[in-house]
């Protein structure tokens, strides 16, 4: 009772084509789902969106006509990271109009609603070419100002 090993044979060409077609479809599905996931298509997932604003001056910072934030109003979605960069010859802050930061009415004509988080780039500010970032996780209107230049105020609308 001896058994003779049978030689291994390649699958027929038709089943090999089917296997490659199925493999190709699976790869395409994986790539599409990964792209949707990374792009934040599925709620609560994905990367943080980004936006930018600037603190600027035109050579001196003595009034709103030559020194301010741009844009004055920025609209973003929740979970957006906003980065302010200074293109100015002087130092600025990005400070929330919240009771935590104790602004004057000149610095903050409108205060943030209670329940919105506070943010501050720091009492020493940031200078030319430097930046400050903050991620807005709650919808609302965030008013902010510069501690050193009380006419510099702007807002971020988060929806």
The CATH superfamily of 49-158 is Cupredoxins -  blue copper proteins (2.60.40.420)
Residue range 55-83: mean pLDDT, rounded: 90
Instruction: Write down the pLDDT at residue 36.
Output: 55
Do 137 and 117 meet the contact criterion of CB atoms below 8 Å apart? yes
Instruction: Write down the pLDDT at residue 155.
Output: 96
**Percentage of residues in the chain having pLDDT higher than 90:** 43
Banded pLDDT at 112 (limits 50, 70, 90): very high
pLDDT greater at residue 111 or residue 38 = 111
Question: Where do the structural domains in the chain lie, given as residue ranges?
Answer: 13-47, 49-158
CA atoms of 38 and 118, how far apart (whole Å): 28
Asked if the model's pLDDT at residue 44 lies above 50, the reply is no
Residue whose C-alpha is closest to residue 61's, from 89, 103, 95, 84? 89
Render pLDDT for 114-125 as a digit per residue (tens, 0 to 9). Answer: 889 999 999 899
Residue whose C-alpha is closest to residue 131's, from 62, 56, 48? 56
Quickly count: other Cβ atoms within 10 Å of residue 40's Cβ: 15
Render pLDDT for 68-77 as a digit per residue (tens, 0 to 9). Answer: 999 999 999 9
């Amino acid at each position: 009772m001896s058994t003779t090993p049978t030689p291994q044979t390649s699958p027929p060409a038709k089943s090999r084509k089917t296997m490659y077609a199925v493999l190709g479809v699976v790869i395409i599905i994986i790539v599409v789902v990964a792209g949707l996931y990374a792009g934040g298509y599925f709620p609560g997932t994905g990367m943080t969106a980004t936006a930018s604003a600037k603190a600027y001056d035109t050579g001196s910072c003595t009034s709103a006509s030559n020194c301010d934030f741009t844009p004055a109003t920025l609209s973003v979605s929740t979970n957006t990271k906003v980065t302010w960069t200074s293109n100015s010859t002087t130092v600025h802050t990005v400070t929330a109009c919240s009771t935590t930061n104790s602004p004057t009415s000149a610095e903050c004509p409108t205060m943030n609603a209670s329940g919105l988080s506070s943010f501050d780039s720091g009492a020493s500010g940031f200078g030319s070419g430097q930046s400050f970032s903050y991620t807005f996780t709650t919808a609302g209107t965030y008013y902010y100002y510069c501690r050193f230049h009380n006419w510099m105020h702007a807002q971020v609308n988060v929806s």
